[in-house]
Amino acid sequence: MTQPPVLTAEEWVLLQELLDHERVKLLTEIRRTDTHTFRDELRARLAMVERVMEKTAAAVQPAA
């Protein structure tokens, strides 16, 4: 198994912002899509983006 990437705090924040932007785009696309199969694929991608956001959120949280 490979090691997780070593990112600066700013890079982790950028990653979260990019993921959030993708999440918003997917939500819009899901609403606009007429094809059931494609909508299901978009929902699966959305779920993956949200999982990655959850996993990387701890790296973005300021230390207490």
Name the pTM for this structure.
0.82
DSSP string, the chain: -PPPP---HHHHHHHHHHHHHHHHHHHHHHHH---HHHHHHHHHHHHHHHHHHHHHHHHHSPP-
pLDDT digits (tens, 9 = 90+) for 4-52: 778 998 999 999 999 999 999 999 999 999 999 999 999 999 999 999 9
Q: What is the pLDDT of residue 39?
A: 98
Q: Which amino acid is at 36?
A: H
Q: What is the pLDDT of residue 47?
A: 98
Q: What is the pLDDT of residue 1?
A: 67
Cβ(5)–Cβ(38) below 8 Å:
no
Cα Rg of the chain (Å, integer): 14
pLDDT mean over 55-64? 72
